[in-house]
Structure 1
Amino acid sequence: MVLALDVSMSSTGWAVINRNKEILKYGKIVTKKDKFDTEDERMCYICNTIQELITTYNIQIVLVEDQFTSRNSKTILSLRKLLGAIMRTVKLNNIEIEYMYPASIRKYIMNSGKAKKEEVAEYVRENIIDIGKYIDRTCKAKTSDIYDAISLGIAYLNKVGDAK
């Protein structure tokens, strides 16, 4: 059982996927800045939710995308801090954590590291699970975080399957 995470301070997408590449559950961990007193509280909320997912679904491996890009160095620092907190949460459960670069994710799904995020999401929507239109703007209906998490999980399982 894998837990794939598209890490973000505001909307962390997640998907629980079994070895047969069946999507068992998916969602978003949404943290609005104004609902928390500090950034640390937001991070704790995200990690506590990840802990619940690990326990509920008997997760054996956690997957995280290994690239954060932003023009804002404060955003990068926050995301790296969040990643460290997630890594600690995972390791406290004696679970492996694996990291994949976006180009590798696209390669293991689309056979091309140059595919666009939207193309990968469309492939997932047509061939794996349809959770609705790919929406990447900040709104309640935003699906990009979930599609990114599902893509990560499927890419990892494809990679592991290729290695056998």
Structure 2
Amino acid sequence: MVILGLDPSLSSTGWGVIRAEGSRITHVANGQVKTDPAAPMAERLVALQAGLAAVIAEHAPERAAAEEIFVNKNPQSTLKLAQARGAVLAACGAAGLGVNEHAARLVKKAVTGTGAAEKVQVAAMVKVLLPGVQIAGSDAADALAVAIADAHLAPRS
């Protein structure tokens, strides 16, 4: 089973692709789709959708997984995250991919053993679970964590 993990963000959406065979997981690829902060919102959302469509076309995942949305203290930030997440989910939907959603605390717990883990701990554990992986950045590390958690938490299909 090839799984695409996603960490949606308007500025830098992380993605990670793993292969899960039983309880064994292996790294396939990871990266980030970045947008120009000076570009209009519509252009940024199109860039996210197109960038992820290219990732999906290249790696042909069988399903995707993303963190559930969370509410920031700043409503504007929450709205921007929701818009970016919509573009990410639209790219998956256009490719016919189902998307499993997992709470951030559950992803952290599945990967590190604690739901209160910091980003650095998550990235370190991803490197342990995927030996030799070269991670493209913290957003990509989070996306790989989502994919790993999905491999362990979601029902097999």
Which one has a larger percent strand, Structure 1 or Structure 2?
2
What does residue 114 of structure 1 align with? 116
Segments ≥4 residues shifted beyond 4 Å: none
Query: Following superposition of structure 1 onto structure 2, how do residues 49-64 of structure 1 map, counting pairs within 5 Å?
Result: 49-64=51-66
Count of aligned pairs between the two proteins: 152
Q: 1-side partners of 2:129 and 2:85: how far apart?
A: 30
Alignment of 1:12-161 (within 5 A): 12-20=13-21, 21-34=25-38, 36=39, 38-129=40-131, 130-131=133-134, 143-160=137-154
Q: TM-score normalized by structure 1?
A: 0.82
8 Å Cα contact 1:13/1:149 also seen in 2: yes
Bigger RCO (CA 8 Å, 6+ sep): 2
What RMSD, in angstroms, separates the aligned Cα atoms of the two structures?
A: 2.1
Residue identity opposite 1:104 in structure 2 = L
Residue aligning to 1:136: none
Q: Deviations over 1:15-73 (max 9, x none)?
A: 11112421111111111212x2x111101111011111111111221111113343321
Moved more, 115-124 or 149-158: 115-124
Q: Which amino acid aligns with 1:98?
A: N
